[in-house]
């Protein structure tokens, strides 16, 4: 019997209206939004459902908003009797995976990611950092382009998302320069991302130190499910290890492709993306194709996709 992994999105998946249908249809989901409102002392529900967009894309708001929405959607999926063997999340999504794995209480996680977002936002003055997604060019060529700007600008790889997509991060002017270079080298696209900080770059070392202090005062638990870590694509279950990896994750590259390959090699043949958007499902499809393995990719980002996911699992004999 194949195994199931729940995977959770990171920043960039947000949009006004997310989670509203779950709030209106599931008591379990409603309680998640209410708990987040209470612990954050802000109307996260209104922010998720109505925006405005410019408030929703502020990092310190985006992170708790996506975490809350993803957990609310997951609660509805669990109510339908669906569970998983493994969890993983892209960047911020790792905190959602941690909640699912019982490594941290939701109330602590939502508080932590708001602080994490604020630290990331404040460490590099707005406008100085940037990120870009590069499509259709291999890692070595991208590293070559980064090498050419070294010394003048700090640019690093933020995410190894899939065989088709790598995200770079660093000083905005350097990121732009690398984009120009990779297009000359044959990249299909180089798209600047609408983010307010250079995530997963060594420019955020200071945020890492401050986050470590926050984690010292947060109660973590050993995990009930194996979580595949962003920083080394290996499973974690011990709370001490979780803490260490969450700190490193701030300034290290996200090894998403490697994490998915690890899960497939562990026998996972069904990936369910839970949360706004569906970009992770696209990454999983491309990664599985690259290593020539057949997997099912499902996602839950609306009541409709919840029902179609549950039906697919029933038809496939997974529940």
d(CA 76, CA 90): 21
Give me the average pLDDT of each 10-residue run along the chain (319 residues).
Answer: 94 95 98 97 96 90 97 97 97 98 98 95 90 96 97 97 97 97 97 89 96 95 97 96 96 97 97 97 97 97 97 85
- Select from 85, 114, 22 the least CA-distant residue to 267: 85
Distance CA 15, CA 49 (A): 8
User: What is the reported pLDDT for 227?
Assistant: 98
Q: At what angle do helices 256-265 and 279-290 cross, to 10 degrees?
A: 60
Of 295, 187, 204, 293, the C-alpha closest to 252 is: 204
pLDDT recorded at residue 69: 98
Residues with a known catalytic role: 91, 200
The residues that bridge with 150 in the sheet, in sequence order, are none
Evaluate whether 6 touches 82 at the Cβ level (below 8 Å): no
**pLDDT for res 195:** 81
Q: 241: which 2 tokens?
A: 């290890």
**Alpha helices by DSSP H, the chain:** 20-25, 27-40, 44-50, 53-56, 59-79, 93-100, 106-123, 139-149, 172-184, 205-216, 239-249, 256-265, 279-290, 303-315
Structural domains present in the chain: 3-123+203-315 (3.40.366.10), 129-195 (3.30.70.250)
5 vs 260: CA distance, rounded Å: 10
pLDDT of residue 249: 96
Q: Output the six-digit token pair for 225.
A: 């499910």
User: Do 190 and 118 form a contact (C-beta atoms < 8 A)?
Assistant: no
pLDDT confidence of residue 90: 98
pLDDT of residue 131: 96
């Amino acid at each position: 019997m194949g195994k199931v992994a729940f995977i959770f999105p990171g920043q960039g998946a947000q949009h006004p209206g997310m989670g509203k249908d779950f709030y209106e249809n599931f008591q379990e989901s409603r309680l998640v939004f209410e708990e987040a409102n209470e612990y954050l002392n802000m109307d996260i529900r209104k922010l998720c459902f109505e925006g405005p967009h410019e408030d929703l894309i502020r990092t310190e708001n985006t992170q708790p908003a996506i975490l809350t929405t993803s957990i609310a959607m997951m609660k509805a999926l669990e109510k339908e009797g669906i569970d998983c063997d493994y969890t993983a999340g892209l960047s911020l999504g790792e905190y959602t995976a941690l909640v699912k794995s019982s490594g941290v209480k939701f109330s602590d996680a939502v508080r932590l990611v708001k602080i994490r977002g604020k630290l990331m936002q404040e460490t590099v003055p707005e406008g100085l950092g940037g990120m870009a997604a590069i499509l259709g060019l291999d890692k070595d060529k991208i590293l070559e382009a980064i090498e050419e700007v070294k010394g003048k600008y700090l640019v690093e790889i933020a995410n190894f998302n899939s065989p088709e997509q790598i995200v770079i991060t660093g000083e905005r002017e350097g990121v732009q320069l690398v984009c120009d270079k990779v297009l000359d080298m044959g990249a299909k696209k180089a798209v600047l991302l609408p983010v307010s900080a250079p995530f997963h770059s060594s420019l955020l070392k200071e945020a890492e130190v401050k986050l470590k202090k926050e984690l010292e005062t947060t109660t973590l638990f050993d995990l009930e499910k194996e979580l595949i870590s962003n920083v080394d694509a290996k499973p974690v279950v011990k709370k001490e290890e979780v803490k260490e990896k969450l700190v490193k994750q701030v300034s290290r590259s996200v090894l998403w492709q490697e994490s998915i390959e690890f899960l497939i090699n562990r026998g996972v043949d069904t990936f369910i993306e839970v949360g706004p958007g569906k970009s992770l499902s696209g990454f999983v499809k491309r990664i599985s194709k690259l290593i020539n393995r057949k997997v099912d990719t499902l996602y839950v980002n609306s009541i409709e996709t919840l029902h179609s996911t549950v039906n697919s699992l029933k038809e496939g004999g997974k529940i």
